[in-house]
A = this chain, B = another copy of it.
Amino acid sequence: MAEESTATAPPELKVDVAALTALLDGKYADVRRTVRELLPSYASVLEDAETMPREEFRERVKEVVLEMAGTGASAMGFPEEYGGGGDIGASIAAFESLAYGDLSVLVKVGVQFGLFGGAILQLGTQRHHDAYLADVVSGRLLGCFAMTETGHGSNVQALGTVATYDPATSEFVVTTPTHEAGKDYIGNAARHARVAVVFAQLEVAGERHGVHALVVPLRDEAGEPLPGVRIEDDGAKMGLNGVDNGRIWFDGVRVPREALLNRFADVTEDGAYVSEIESPGRRFFTMLGTLVQGRVSVGAAGVSAAKVALTIAVRYGLLRRQFETGAEHGGEESGEQLLLDYGLHQRRLFPRLARTYALHFAQEVLAGELHDVFSGVRTDEETRRLLESRAAGTKALTTWHATDVIQECREACGGAGYLAVNRFAALKADTDVFTTFEGDNHVLLQLVGKGLLTDYASEFSDLDQLGMVRFVAGLAVETILERTRVHRLLEQIRDVLPGGGSDEWHTDSGLRDPNYHLAMYRFREEHLIGGVARRLKRGVDSGMNPGEVFSRVQDHVIAAARAHVERLVLEAFVAKVESLPDDDGDLKLTLNLLCDLHALSGIEADRGWFIEHGRLTTQRSKAITREVAELCRRVRPIARELVDAFAVPTSLLRAPALIGDDA
């Protein structure tokens, strides 16, 4: 609990909303603006989601997706020769902006152009591109991405579907061996997909080569399932009911040899399996790695959803008054105080607002890296692996953030927030699965943790969790730490931390120094990684089996991964602030305030850990709590500007009673 600060209040900041929007929009401001201007014409979909029967709504969403395809907004990442925009960064920016609108539309766009089209683009070769991409981009050919099975969601390497090569006919025979091996939750499958990219265990001449992807036709021109294909509707879902998810079983479906998406492996005309990547595990992860764009996109959508929720809640807090206050003593008119003037309300909303800014800039860095890797600007293997790790971890943080922010904002709007006419009902229901699809968040953080512990070594891709346990147990802890990047960063500033060699940080001073924040985040990361490594070694050394060792250390692995991603997020925000000119109005000061609030509320939330590990005194911990409250008070006068800068089109807020007259 914060005690009152005795410092004199600094002058109020002046926020130029347009300038802040331009900063948030960044390099792809034009793309973002175009999509934001496009969205209001589809705003009625938000209402259709409530009122239309499911089948009609699915058709409605399909129409919008096709219209969108007509504008080019949905295919900015495809090569220009197939009608795309040829700019991966732009496609992420467009997707992020699209997430201000109805999320069924967004997810159907993601399924068609990101997952289905992306798999053909990334896993296929020229013959597939020529055969499909122009039709994918235009929306003439709708497809689906058939990876997940009822029995296997996270452990995709263990999928049950089999594609057996028949040399007699030069065909693959695709079969679902058990009910549990049926493809499940597949978007576009229940109604609209004519073809599927199917992930299956490839079997050639009696030998299994791991999971590969093939293009398999599902339906005829009339939309009827083809022979051997059985499709079932997943039915109603918690949200996203404009997307037709379904299940697919294959019974000896034959596709030509050329159906194999053969960028990384192929079967020759004479029936030999060939691949430049020898290790099956590494081959599989290389294939999966090309699909990283999906995770970056979902992460971006999570940030956008949080922005919508915060815009509504902050505007509501500036309209709604509650309970008598001391205002009569100040001579103001109303006897009731604005919700947003309550300290608790500020505490509920502003650290989340600051974190939304932090995650926005973290996404910006991530999208930039994605663009560089997939545009061939950076081609080294290490960069690619760091990108995959960062995408996985950021997706986990942003989607959990979205769930948390939407819930808090709904509660902050009371009963009014519960009515479907406002955005919360749809936002909450539609985003709920973000924490699960494109990789369950805990599983993704586990992946990040594995990468940290193995330093993204080439061994990385081959290691399951047990392999990882054995690998780490075989190394000295110092070796692991020395190889981590954070170790190198930490060395430079270790002495600024309490317990490090200076007492400077024991007091209240320097609480807003970004070097202090970074040192704390980096220390936490390094310490958690070292601790995991030690526990893994100790467990194996004591003779426990690696599965049991992993199970016991699992939450520690995930905490280390989370600390790693939190550090990356903070670094991105600090770097952004530092890059701003000092003389551009209050823009830099404003971002600086939000960055401090984000960093300090993050330390506050984990203060138990920092104190336990000797990096925070109890006095300083209390000082941080006071500071967070003080920073919230400083955010209060500019709160409206900070959400207005997100530039969510007012018609998409759909919250007339919550946001006031100009809705």
Contacts and interface: CB of A to CB of B under 8 A. Distances in A.
A622 B611 contact: no
Interface centre among A2, A344, A464, A538 (most CB of B within 10 A): A344
A326 B548 contact: yes
Nearest to A614: B618
Interface in A464-482: 464-466
Interface in A253-268: none
A545 B330 contact: yes
A472 B166 CA distance: 85
A288 to B, nearest CB: 15
A478 to B, nearest CB: 19
A657 B403 contact: no
A551 B343 contact: yes
Contacts of A342: 551, 554
Given A555-B1, A612-B611, A326 B546 contact: yes
A424 B555 contact: no
A631 interface: no
A415 B433 contact: yes
Contacts of A53: 53
A341 B551 contact: yes
A552 B325 CA distance: 12
A343 B554 contact: yes
A43 B612 CA distance: 50
Interface stretch (A95-103, A108-116, A151-159, A269-277): A151-159
A185 B148 CA distance: 41
Contacts of A353: none
Contacts of A564: none
Interface in A495-535: 528, 531-532, 535
Contact of A236 (B407, B419, B442, B613): B419
Nearest to A245: B419
A208 to B, nearest CB: 15
A545 B425 contact: no
Contacts of A611: 608, 611-612, 618
Interface centre among A239, A342, A410, A622 (most CB of B within 10 A): A342
A433 B415 CA distance: 7
B612 A336 contact: no
Contacts of A407: 403, 407
A643 B532 CA distance: 32
A661 interface: no
B154 A236 contact: no
A421 B343 contact: no
Contacts of A528: 1
A313 to B, nearest CB: 14
B1 A238 contact: no
A553 B553 CA distance: 40
Given A547-B325, A608-B607, A344 B425 contact: no
Contacts of A417: 436
Interface in A592-649: 606-609, 611-614, 618, 621-622, 629
Given A154-B322, A324-B466, A442-B344, A236 B421 contact: yes
A441 interface: yes
A417 B324 CA distance: 44
A607 B548 CA distance: 28
Given A442-B344, A551-B342, A629-B552, A411 B436 contact: yes
Nearest to A150: B657
Interface in A231-245: 234-239
A650 interface: no
Contacts of A424: 238
A326 B237 contact: no
A251 interface: no
Contact of A148 (B236, B327, B415): B415
A415 B466 contact: no
A384 interface: no
A432 interface: yes
Interface in A542-600: 542, 545-556, 558-559
B466 A326 contact: yes
A2 B421 CA distance: 46
A347 B555 CA distance: 8
Interface centre among A419, A608, A611 (most CB of B within 10 A): A608
Contact of A432 (B185, B410, B607): B410
Nearest to A622: B612
B436 A414 contact: yes
Contact of A547 (B234, B337, B425, B436): B337
Interface centre among A184, A323, A330, A559 (most CB of B within 10 A): A323
Nearest to A236: B420
A463 to B, nearest CB: 11
Contact of A535 (B3, B148, B238, B428): B3
A435 interface: yes
Contact of A343 (B1, B403, B552): B552
16 contacts: A1-B553, A4-B535, A50-B235, A154-B322, A155-B322, A155-B324, A238-B425, A239-B425, A324-B465, A325-B551, A326-B548, A326-B550, A330-B545, A343-B555, A606-B608, A607-B612
Interface of A: 1-4, 50-51, 53, 148, 150, 153-155, 158, 184-185, 234-239, 322-327, 329-330, 336-337, 341-344, 347, 403, 407, 410-411, 414-421, 424-425, 428-429, 432-433, 435-437, 440-442, 464-466, 528, 531-532, 535, 538-539, 542, 545-556, 558-559, 606-609, 611-614, 618, 621-622, 629, 657
Q: Which 4 A-B pairs have the closest CB atoms?
A: A326-B547, A236-B420, A608-B608, A325-B547
